[in-house]
C-alpha cells in the first residue's frame, strides 16, 4: 500500500514530471482567447541607450494586472464538470490568487485562495471582490501552501499550482505566441523566472516556431532557483534573501517547469541588478513579470 502525504500534488509529481508541448500551448491560446487581453509589445525607451530594438510585452494590461490570468483560465476551463462543481483552491501571495479568483468567478466555479499574512492587503481585498473565499494563513508561502493542500484533501477541492501545473504553463505560453506574431523578426526573448512556469511556456512556444530565437531566463541573484536547478540537473531549494522582486522569489522551481525548460532555454543569466532595475523603473508601465524581446 502506498501512502501519500498531504503535500503530494499528482499534477506536479517529482518522480513523473510532465513536459508541455507546442500543441498544449496552441490549444490553450484558442481556449482562452475570448476572455484574455491580447496585450501589445511596445518598443522601450531603453532601445536607444542599448543600440538595439527592445520591446516589452505589456501583460500588466490583463484584467488583474499580470500574465497569470492566461494559465488560470486555461486550467479552469480544462476541469471536468464534476470538479468545476466541487471548486478549486490554491495558495499565492497575490497575482495567481487574483487571476484564479477573477476567472473562477467569470466561469461560476467556487474558488478558495489561501494567502500568507505577508500578502499585500490590496491583493487580498481584490480576491474578495472577485468572489473568492480568502483564507489568511501562515507566515510564508510554505505554510500557506500546506494549509491549502490540507483543505483540498479534506474538502475534495482541486488544488491548482500557480506555476507548475501543466495547464497553467500551457496558458502562460500564449505570451510567446503573441511575441512571435507582434515582433516577427525577434532575435532573443528574456523571460523573468520565479517558479519557472512562464519560462517553460514561452520557451516551448517560441522554440517550436522559431528555433533560432534565443531564450534567456532572468532571475535575481538573491533567489537563483532555476540556475541552481540546471546546475544540479534537478530542482533544489535555495535560500531566499530579501528582494524587491518578490514575484521572482520562489525557493524551488517546479518539477514540470524544470523538465520543460532544461532542453529549450539557451542561458540563465543571474542579474545582480534586478532590484535596482525595479526601483529605477517603478514609474514605467511594465514590471519584472514582463517578458522582454529584442
- Alpha-carbon gap, residue 210 to 208, rounded angstroms: 6
Burial class (CB in 10 A: 0-12, 13-18, 19+), 169: buried
Exposure string over 60-81, b if 16+ CB within 10 A, otherwise e = bebebbbbbbbbbbbbbbbbee
Which helix H or strand E contains 23, and what residues bound it?
helix 22-32
Architecture per CATH, domain 26-63+167-293, reads as 3-Layer(aba) Sandwich (3.40)
∠ Cα 98 134 59 (to 5°): 5
Least trusted range by pLDDT, from 139-153, 174-188, 231-245: 231-245
DSSP track, 239-268 = PPPP-S-GGG--SS--HHHHHHHTTT--B-
pTM over 0.85: yes
pLDDT at 165: 97
pLDDT at 8: 81
Which helix H or strand E contains 76, and what residues bound it?
helix 68-77
Question: Coil, strand or helix: which one is 133?
Answer: strand
118 pLDDT higher than 50: yes
| Residue among 197, 221, 93, 75 nearest 148 (CA) | 93
Q: Which of the four pLDDT bands, split at 50, 70 and 90, describes residue 166?
A: very high
Same fold, 26-63+167-293 and 69-164: yes
55 pLDDT higher than 90: yes
Dump pLDDT digits (tens) for 227-254.
777 787 877 775 655 555 555 556 578 8
∠ Cα 222 249 32 (to 5°): 145
- Alpha-carbon gap, residue 275 to 245, rounded angstroms: 6
pLDDT at 272: 59
pLDDT at 286: 42
Q: What spatial distance separates the first Cα and last Cα of the chain, rounded to whole Å?
A: 53
For the chain, the structural domain boundaries read 26-63+167-293, 69-164
- Alpha-carbon gap, residue 103 to 36, rounded angstroms: 10
Q: Which of the four pLDDT bands, split at 50, 70 and 90, describes residue 2?
A: very low
Question: Coil, strand or helix: which one is 4?
Answer: coil
pLDDT at 245: 53
Q: Which fold has domain 69-164?
A: Rossmann fold (3.40.50)
Which backbone phi and psi does 173 adopt, to 5 degrees? Answer: -65, -20
> Which residue has 494549509 as its cell numbers?
147
| Residue among 123, 126, 271 nearest 193 (CA) | 271
- Alpha-carbon gap, residue 191 to 1, rounded angstroms: 42
Amino acid at each position: 500500500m502506498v501512502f501519500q502525504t498531504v503535500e503530494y500534488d499528482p499534477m506536479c509529481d517529482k518522480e513523473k514530471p510532465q513536459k508541455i508541448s507546442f500543441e498544449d500551448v496552441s490549444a490553450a491560446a484558442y481556449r482562452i482567447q475570448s476572455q484574455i487581453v491580447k496585450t501589445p509589445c511596445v518598443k522601450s525607451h531603453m532601445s536607444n541607450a542599448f543600440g538595439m530594438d527592445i520591446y516589452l510585452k505589456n501583460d500588466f494590461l490583463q484584467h488583474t494586472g499580470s500574465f497569470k490570468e492566461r494559465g488560470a483560465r486555461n486550467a479552469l476551463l480544462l476541469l471536468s464538470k464534476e470538479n468545476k462543481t466541487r471548486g478549486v483552491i490554491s495558495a499565492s501571495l497575490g497575482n495567481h490568487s487574483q487571476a484564479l479568483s477573477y476567472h473562477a468567478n467569470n466561469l461560476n466555479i467556487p474558488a478558495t485562495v489561501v494567502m500568507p499574512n505577508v500578502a499585500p492587503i490590496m491583493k487580498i481585498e481584490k480576491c474578495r471582490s472577485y468572489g473568492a473565499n480568502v483564507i489568511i494563513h501562515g507566515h510564508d508561502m510554505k505554510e500557506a501552501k500546506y494549509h491549502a493542500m490540507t483543505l483540498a484533501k479534506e474538502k475534495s477541492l482541486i488544488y491548482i499550482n500557480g506555476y507548475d501545473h501543466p495547464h497553467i504553463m500551457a496558458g502562460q505560453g500564449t505570451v510567446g505566441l503573441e511575441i512571435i506574431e507582434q515582433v516577427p523578426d525577434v532575435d532573443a526573448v528574456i523571460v523573468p523566472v520565479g517558479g519557472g512556469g512562464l519560462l517553460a511556456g514561452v520557451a516551448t512556444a517560441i522554440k517550436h516556431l522559431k528555433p533560432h530565437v534565443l531564450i534567456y531566463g532572468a532571475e535575481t541573484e538573491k533567489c537563483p532557483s532555476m540556475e541552481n536547478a540546471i546546475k544540479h540537473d534537478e530542482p533544489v531549494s535555495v535560500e531566499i534573501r530579501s528582494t524587491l522582486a518578490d514575484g521572482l522569489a520562489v525557493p524551488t522551481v517546479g518539477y514540470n517547469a524544470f523538465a520543460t525548460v532544461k532542453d529549450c532555454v539557451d542561458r540563465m543569466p543571474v542579474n545582480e541588478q534586478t532590484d535596482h532595475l525595479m526601483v529605477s523603473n517603478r514609474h514605467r508601465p511594465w514590471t519584472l513579470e514582463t517578458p522582454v524581446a529584442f
